[in-house]
């Protein structure tokens, strides 16, 4: 393991950008504190942005303001186009990159490796998983039919905000062996699309109106604070809700229920990576910090302790991290290891924004399934031909 003991001659200040949730900022602020103990001449400050703004602001603008950025992996196509981020390979850390390629969960590392350049390090790992209240349910469903049966009893909730509705559509499509965009010439087979909509509608028809505007955090808060819902089949997991110090009821997480016969595969991978701006004047310091926070020791130690959700397998395989989180990492590992990596071309993010509105409306009963599938196909074709503009804040 590389020893992070570089010395700098003058005072150095770096600016970082992350998302406004403890999982997004607390581990980074702790890392900056520890890094300054080693390097008193280095100060790294972090600006927090809302979850939506974190995902939506143009990368080219952010990289002119910040030296270090926490990004979503679908931004790599945009990064390649604008050369707004510094490729991490070829910077003197290739030995560590090789380790991370082997010792990060699922396709987390691969999600930032695009056309031969590594654009970020997967310090945070996530995918759509399932969650449940062990005090309200004996065992979680393993199949989608079991989910529907539980939904009919009023015990199921889901985040169906447009972007989350689209994520669930993509996850179930991949789960039945028809990932969207697998064939660049077509989004999805019509029969497969109909099957996915049937499955989602069978659950969504039992949802409260509030669910159609909820994101994962809002669903987890409701599940933790009330006894109304015992289960959610698809949402991006947050291990902080499984920990002993959670202020309300603890939530357990597990693999997604299978719609087809392929087990818990196909979940749309999420997570976040730490990237270095190509405009950063002290790239040496920014790189050193990024690789410091990605080390197995850091990830399984202070990063997890500071409410983080690490990407390094040292944390996922740790008895300590699993003991403290109701086996969050072990119980979602199959899902993580068989995730679906969405297309990352410049234009797919714009497609997802617009497609989510269509899927959300259809799940509310405001759209015809076949017509929606045709509109999704048209949006996809447009995104492949010319970059779709995004709905930026």
CATH homologous superfamily, domain 128-267+347-385: Periplasmic binding protein-like II (3.40.190.10)
Domain boundaries along the sequence of the chain: 12-125+269-329, 128-267+347-385
pLDDT at 392: 34
CB 254 within 8 Å of CB 129? yes
Displacement of CA 144 from its chain's centroid (Å): 22
The CATH code that applies to domain 12-125+269-329 is: 3.40.190.10
pLDDT tens, N- to C-terminus, the chain (393 residues)? 354 556 666 899 999 999 999 999 999 999 999 999 999 999 999 999 987 776 667 899 999 999 999 999 999 999 999 999 999 999 999 999 999 999 999 999 999 999 999 999 999 999 999 999 999 999 999 999 999 999 999 999 999 999 999 999 999 999 999 999 987 678 999 999 999 999 999 999 999 999 999 999 999 999 999 999 999 999 999 999 999 999 999 999 999 999 989 999 999 999 999 999 999 999 999 999 999 999 999 999 999 999 999 999 999 999 999 999 999 999 999 999 999 999 999 889 899 999 999 999 999 999 999 999 999 999 999 998 854 454 433
This prediction's pTM: 0.93
Q: What SS3 class is residue 104?
A: strand
Name every residue whose Cβ is closer than 8 Å to that of residue 171 and which is 6 or more positions away in sequence. Answer: 128, 234, 256, 266, 267, 268, 340
> What is the number of other CB atoms lying within 10 angstroms of the CB of residue 266?
26
Question: What's the pLDDT score for residue 53?
Answer: 73
Burial zone of 368 (CB within 10 Å; 0-12 exposed, 13-18 middle, 19+ buried): exposed
CA dist 248 and 141 (Å) reads 23
Domains 12-125+269-329 and 128-267+347-385 share a fold: yes
Place of tokens 């996915």: 196
Give dist(CA 42, CA 27) in Å, integer.
17
In this predicted structure, what is the pLDDT of residue 393? Answer: 34
3-class secondary-structure state, position 45: strand
Q: What is the pLDDT of residue 365?
A: 96
Cα(221)–Cα(235) distance, rounded to whole angstroms? 13
d(CA 151, CA 207): 8
What integer pLDDT is reported at residue 55 of this predicted model? Answer: 62
């Amino acid at each position: 393991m590389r020893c992070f003991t570089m010395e700098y001659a003058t005072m150095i200040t770096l600016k970082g950008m992350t998302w406004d949730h403890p999982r997004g900022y607390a581990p980074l602020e702790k890392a900056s504190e520890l890094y300054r103990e080693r390097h008193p001449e280095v100060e790294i400050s972090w600006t927090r942005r809302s979850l939506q703004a974190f995902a939506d602001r143009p990368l080219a603008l952010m990289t002119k303001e910040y030296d270090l950025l926490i990004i979503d992996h679908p931004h790599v196509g945009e990064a390649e186009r604008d050369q707004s981020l510094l490729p991490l390979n070829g910077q003197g850390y290739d030995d560590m990159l090789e380790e991370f390629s082997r010792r990060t969960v699922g396709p987390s590392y691969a999600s930032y490796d695009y056309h031969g350049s590594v654009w970020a390090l997967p310090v945070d790992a996530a995918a759509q998983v399932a969650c449940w209240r062990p005090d309200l349910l004996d065992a979680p469903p393993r199949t989608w039919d079991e989910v529907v049966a539980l939904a009919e009893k009023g015990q199921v909730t889901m985040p169906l905000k447009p972007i989350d509705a689209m994520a669930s559509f993509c996850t179930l499509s991949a789960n039945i062996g028809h990932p969207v965009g697998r064939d660049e010439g077509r989004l999805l087979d019509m029969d497969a699309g109909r099957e996915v909509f049937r499955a989602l509608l069978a659950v969504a028809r039992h949802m409260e109106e509030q669910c159609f505007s909820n994101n994962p955090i809002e669903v987890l808060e409701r599940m933790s604070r009330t006894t109304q819902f015992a289960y959610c089949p698809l949402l991006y997991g947050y291990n902080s809700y499984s920990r002993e110090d959670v202020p309300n009821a603890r939530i357990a997480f597990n693999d997604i229920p299978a719609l087809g016969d392929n087990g818990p595969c196909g979940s749309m991978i999420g997570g976040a990576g730490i990237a270095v701006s190509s405009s950063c004047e002290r790239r040496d310091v920014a790189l050193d910090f990024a690789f410091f926070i990605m080390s197995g020791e850091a990830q399984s130690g202070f990063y997890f302790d500071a409410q983080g959700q690490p990407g390094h397998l040292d944390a996922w395989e740790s008895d300590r991290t699993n003991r403290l989180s109701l086996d969050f990492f072990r119980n979602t590992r199959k899902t993580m290891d068989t995730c679906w990596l969405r297309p990352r071309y410049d234009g797919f993010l714009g497609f997802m924004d617009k497609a989510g509105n269509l899927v959300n409306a259809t799940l509310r009963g405001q759209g015809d399934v076949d017509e929606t599938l045709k509109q999704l196909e048209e949006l996809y074709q447009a995104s492949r031909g010319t970059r779709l503009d995004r709905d930026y804040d």
